[in-house]
């Protein structure tokens, strides 16, 4: 009974370490993620279709579309650090989940910025045209 409990708690603590490492690595890798394309797309959609329609659709897509991919370098590091397939699978799933959250957040922020700039551009065009 004690052996089962000990092995169970060790596996839980081992998984916790793997999950924390995956979350931290995703945070580090997410810092260098560039979402300029989402801002540019949102700006263009806002100017062409209106901030509400074009920008709104782009913002919704920015927060929901896409899944993070693991780079070859990170994949090699995972296989080296976690030779057993269970820990590697746990790490990979958590890493992808966290990196996807970070990327969606950055994509959404860029889309909001593009929509705001599109709105200001249209406002300036309307003010110039009406004067």
One pLDDT digit (tens) per residue for the chain, 131 residues: 444 443 344 355 568 888 999 999 999 999 989 999 999 999 999 999 988 999 999 999 999 998 888 888 888 888 888 888 888 899 999 999 999 999 999 999 999 999 999 999 999 999 999 98
pLDDT of 83 reads 83
Helix (H) or strand (E) holding 92: helix 85-130
Q: How far apart are CA 45 and CA 25, in angstroms?
A: 34
Nearest residue to 22 via CA among 87, 118, 103, 80: 87
Q: What pLDDT score was predicted for residue 43?
A: 96
Taking phi first (over 0 means left), then psi (-120 to 50 degrees means alpha), and beta for anything else, what does residue 8 get?
alpha
The whole-number pLDDT of residue 11 equals: 52
Q: What one-character DSSP code corresponds to residue 55? A: I
The pLDDT score that the predictor gives to residue 36 is 94
The pTM (predicted TM-score) of the whole model is 0.80
**What is the pLDDT at residue 14?**
65
pLDDT for res 78? 87
């Amino acid at each position: 009974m004690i052996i089962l409990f000990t092995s169970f708690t060790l596996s839980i603590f081992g998984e916790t370490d793997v999950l924390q490492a995956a979350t931290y690595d995703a945070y580090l890798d997410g810092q260098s993620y560039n979402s300029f394309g989402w801002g540019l797309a949102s700006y263009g959609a806002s100017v062409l279709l209106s901030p509400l329609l074009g920008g709104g659709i782009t913002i919704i897509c920015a927060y929901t579309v896409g899944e993070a991919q693991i780079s070859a370098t990170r994949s090699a590091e995972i296989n080296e650090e976690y030779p057993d397939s269970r820990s590697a699978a746990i790490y990979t799933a958590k890493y992808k989940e966290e990196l996807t959250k970070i990327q969606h957040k950055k994509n959404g922020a860029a889309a909001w910025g593009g929509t705001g700039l599109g709105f200001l551009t249209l406002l300036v065009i309307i003010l110039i045209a009406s004067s």
